[in-house]
């Protein structure tokens, strides 16, 4: 009976990859191309991203939902950034970045609008984080992945994942800390 049930479930699961591919390939391509500015490289990024997805299909419950979309986008962003980073080391050519996020590594808090709530400011801090931090924070806090799973997707060691989580949090919470210091002072 259990084997029969498992086969029934498998039939539903079998199409999951194809459904995800059809639903999200264009969005993922858009994100990859935004980072890499090259259609062939973007297809390479998609290929690698879907390979990583195969190992994480069990984390996806619904095909068409916000969470799944976010998960696929963050995977393809991580892969594209890795490709970008490797090419950058090879000094191929300067490439503009998706949403200019890498360029915003040094974030100036003075740019913030004064009347934003603390919550909004923290959200803005995450949006302005370099993607190498924001991607990992999203995988950890948005998709509940553990260190090992994140390391596999992002292609770095577990200890680096933990360091980036720590640094990412520190960068995001910097505003709160400064405010706290002012109150204490």
Partner 1 sequence: MDNLISEKAFSDIVKKAESIMLQQIPNINEQAHTFTNEFEDKMKLISKVANRKMSWNGLMRYAKKIAIIFLIILVTSFATIMSVEALRVRFFEIITRAFEKYTYIEFEKSNLATADDNEYIFYEPSYIPKEFKLIKHEIFHTTAILTYVNDYGDETIFKQYPLEHTKMKIDTEGTTLNSITIRGSKGHYFKNKGLTTIMWQEKQYGFMLSSESEKKILIKMAESIRINKSNGQ
Residues at the contact surface with partner 1, assessed by CB under 8 A = 2-3, 5-7, 9-10, 13-14, 16-18, 21, 25-27, 29-31, 33, 39-40, 43, 46-47, 50-51, 53-54, 57-58, 66, 69-70, 73-74, 99, 119, 122-123, 126-127, 134, 137-138, 140-142, 146-149, 158, 162, 169-170, 172-174, 176-177, 180
CB of 26 to partner 1, least distance (A): 4
C-beta of 37 vs 169, nearer to partner 1:
169
Q: CA–CA separation, 11 vs 177, rounded Å?
A: 51
Residue with tokens 């400011």: 121
84 vs 135, beta carbon nearer partner 1: 135
Residue 82 CB, nearest distance to partner 1 (Å)?
Answer: 18
CA distance 11 to 4: 11
Rank residues 43 and 112 by Cβ distance to partner 1 and give the closer one.
43
- We find the least distance from the C-beta atom of residue 38 to partner 1, in angstroms, to be 12
Of 58 and 91, CB closest to partner 1 = 58
Least distance from partner 1 to the Cβ atom of residue 91, Å: 27
Handedness of CA 142, 42, 44, 26 (dihedral sign): positive
Q: Which tokens in the block code for residue 58?
A: 């069990």
Supply the DSSP string of 56-84, one letter for each residue. Answer: TGGG---SSSHHHHHHHHHHHHHHHHHHH
**Distance of CA 68 to CAs 65, 78, 82, 161, Å?**
5, 15, 21, 22
Contact (CB, 8 A) for 82 and 153: no
Report in angstroms how near the CB of residue 23 gets to partner 1 at its nearest: 9
Query: How far apart, in whole angstroms, are the C-alpha atoms of residue 50 and residue 76?
Result: 8
């Amino acid at each position: 009976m259990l084997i029969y049930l498992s086969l029934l479930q498998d039939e539903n699961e079998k199409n999951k990859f194809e459904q995800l591919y059809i639903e999200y390939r264009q969005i993922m391509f858009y994100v990859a191309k935004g980072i890499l500015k090259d259609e062939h490289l973007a297809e390479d990024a998609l290929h690698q991203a879907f390979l990583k997805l195969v190992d994480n299909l069990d984390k996806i419950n619904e095909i068409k939902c916000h969470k799944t979309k976010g998960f696929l986008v963050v995977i393809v962003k991580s892969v594209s950034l890795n490709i970008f980073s490797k090419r950058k080391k090879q000094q191929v050519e300067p490439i503009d970045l998706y949403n200019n996020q890498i360029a915003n590594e040094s974030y100036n808090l003075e740019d913030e609008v004064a009347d934003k709530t603390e919550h909004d400011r923290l959200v803005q801090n995450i949006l302005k984080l370099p993607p190498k931090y924001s991607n990992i924070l999203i995988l950890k806090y948005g998709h509940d992945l553990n260190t090992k799973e994140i390391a596999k997707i992002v292609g770095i060691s577990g200890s680096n994942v933990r360091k980036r989580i720590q640094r990412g949090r520190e960068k995001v919470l910097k505003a709160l800390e400064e405010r706290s210091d002012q109150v204490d002072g």
